[in-house]
């Protein structure tokens, strides 16, 4: 049996530390609270008997739960991030614990306008009788990703208390600044030393995220000619007009975030800056099929050529840089990463679901760097919002799943 009250206590303790990531900060991690929580986690890991627990100079917490198997077993890493999204403040979180949820909408006590509605959260229907944790409606909760942190900590505690459960070496890794795209920047994969990794940063229960978008960023620079408007006839080339024409020529009814879902990719112009002489436009390119990114980039380039024809005297430069890659590309290197996760859930008598994310995770970056890393459910709902909530039973299910997963890997002999 998983110690549910202790798991809840852990979660409530971790969300009380403000770890909001700060975009544009000059330090790493971007906010001091991440170091405070990291220290707390290191100390708790040491107290659990994980004697090598450390917090690195970049705030990353690493620890090993040593193997208790007599055979050599593959090293498996478990990862969660300690920071929370800058989209909603994570300072002064006042969690509301709803025991034996009776069904219906949940009004948050600190803000009567903030209501978690069943209509928007149909998954609530299956959770009647469960323990739910919400905010008071004025901050986020931080379940993304402190649910993952609490689940990993409770898994370590459970395995320490149950030496009869066979497992190989588990490497615990808590990262910083995932929410602002820097979760993996200071993780040394050689120091981590794992052959496979799981991020605990997924929604609900029993889902395994096996695909993310592949992502590129295009910066389009328009250059023209500025001159006083009084003498501009035949001489001025206004790049604001060129940029407007460029956007107009891009597809609107397809290939945009506003018109796509599921596996469909898109081009998304999201930022424009500049004036008459020069304008810079930033566009993100997204598709599950990595090869399609080149086609999207080609579409930008051909649109630039057409546009230039309408505005002789203007120049348009399209520069594309890679951001991250669909984790499915790299997961093929270690098919057991997903297969064993499915098996662990099945052994618990539950139904695993393979899911895709229209975005990226630290796992996409880890996978791309050669460490196959699917993402697992950990009870997150409505991340980044004051309407964020989590379910204690789903967190318990995540702990049960990790305990099972450790055993599945322990049964697999390491190839010499």
Catalytic machinery residues: 83, 178
**What is the C-alpha separation between 74 and 1, in angstroms, rounded?**
26
Q: Please count the residues of this chain forming the interface with Zn ion, following the rule CB under 5 A.
A: 3
Instruction: Name which of 131 and 375 has its Cβ closer to Zn ion.
Output: 375
Nearest approach, Cβ of 278 to Zn ion (angstroms)? 37
**What is the C-alpha separation between 342 and 148, in angstroms, rounded?**
18
Instruction: Name which of 145 and 154 has its Cβ closer to Zn ion.
Output: 145
Strands 214-223 and 207-212: unpaired
**What is the C-alpha separation between 416 and 407, in angstroms, rounded?**
20
- CA distances (Å), origin 64, targets 25, 296, 322: 31, 43, 33
Give the footprint of Zn ion on residues 323-382 (CB under 5 A): none
Nearest approach, Cβ of 277 to Zn ion (angstroms)? 41
Contact, 365 vs 324, CB < 8 A?
yes
Nearest approach, Cβ of 366 to Zn ion (angstroms)? 14
Nearest approach, Cβ of 383 to Zn ion (angstroms)? 6
Site string for Zn ion, 131-150 (x = CB under 5 A): -------------xx-----
Instruction: Name which of 154 and 201 has its Cβ closer to Zn ion.
Output: 201
Contact, 73 vs 86, CB < 8 A?
no
**What is the C-alpha separation between 32 and 20, in angstroms, rounded?**
9
**What is the C-alpha separation between 118 and 201, in angstroms, rounded?**
23
Instruction: Name which of 147 and 239 has its Cβ closer to Zn ion.
Output: 147
Contact, 327 vs 210, CB < 8 A?
yes
Contact, 41 vs 150, CB < 8 A?
no
**What is the C-alpha separation between 261 and 116, in angstroms, rounded?**
24
Instruction: Name which of 68 and 361 has its Cβ closer to Zn ion.
Output: 361
Phi, psi of 187 (to 5 degrees): -95, 120
Nearest approach, Cβ of 201 to Zn ion (angstroms)? 4
Site string for Zn ion, 171-210 (x = CB under 5 A): ------------------------------x---------
> CB atoms < 10 A from the CB of 188, how many?
11
Which chain residues interact with Zn ion by CB under 5 A?
A: 144-145, 201
């Amino acid at each position: 049996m998983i110690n549910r009250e202790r798991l809840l206590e852990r979660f409530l303790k971790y969300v009380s530390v403000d770890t909001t990531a700060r975009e544009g900060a000059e330090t790493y991690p971007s906010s001091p609270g991440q170091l405070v929580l990291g220290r707390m986690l290191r100390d708790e890991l040491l107290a659990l008997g994980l004697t090598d627990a450390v917090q690195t100079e970049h705030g990353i917490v690493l620890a090993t739960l040593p193997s208790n198997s007599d055979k050599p077993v593959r090293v498996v890493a478990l990862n969660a991030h300690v920071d929370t999204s800058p989209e909603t403040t994570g300072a002064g979180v006042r969690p509301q614990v709803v025991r034996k949820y009776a069904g219906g909408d949940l009004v948050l006590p600190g803000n009567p306008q903030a209501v978690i509605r069943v209509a928007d959260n149909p998954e609530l229907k299956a959770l009647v009788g469960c323990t739910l944790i919400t905010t008071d409606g004025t901050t986020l909760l931080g379940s993304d990703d402190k649910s993952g942190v609490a689940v990993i900590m409770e898994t370590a505690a459970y395995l320490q208390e149950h030496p009869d459960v066979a497992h190989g070496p588990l490497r615990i890794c808590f990262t910083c600044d995932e929410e602002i795209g820097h979760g993996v920047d200071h993780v040394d994969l050689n120091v981590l030393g794992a052959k496979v990794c799981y991020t605990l940063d997924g929604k609900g229960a029993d889902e395994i995220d096996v695909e993310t978008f592949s992502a590129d960023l295009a910066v389009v620079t328009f250059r023209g000619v500025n001159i006083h408007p009084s003498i501009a006839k035949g001489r001025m080339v206004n790049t604001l007009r060129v940029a407007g024409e460029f956007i107009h020529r891009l597809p609107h009814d397809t290939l945009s975030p506003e018109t796509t879902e599921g596996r469909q990719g898109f081009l998304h112009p999201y930022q424009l800056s500049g004036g008459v002489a020069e304008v810079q436009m930033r566009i993100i390119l997204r598709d599950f099929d990595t090869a399609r990114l080149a086609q999207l980039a080609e579409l930008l380039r051909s649109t630039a050529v057409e546009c230039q024809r309408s505005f002789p005297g203007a120049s348009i430069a399209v520069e594309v840089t890679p951001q991250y890659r669909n984790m499915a590309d790299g997961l093929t290197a270690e098919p057991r990463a997903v297969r064993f996760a499915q098996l662990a859930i099945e052994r618990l008598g539950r139904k695993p679901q393979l899911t895709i994310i229209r975005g990226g995770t630290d796992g996409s970056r880890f996978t791309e760097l050669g460490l196959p890393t699917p993402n697992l459910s950990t009870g997150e709902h409505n991340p980044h919002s004051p309407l964020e909530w989590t379910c204690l039973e789903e967190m318990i299910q995540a702990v049960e799943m990790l305990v099972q997963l450790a055993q599945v890997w322990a049964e697999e002999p390491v190839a010499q």
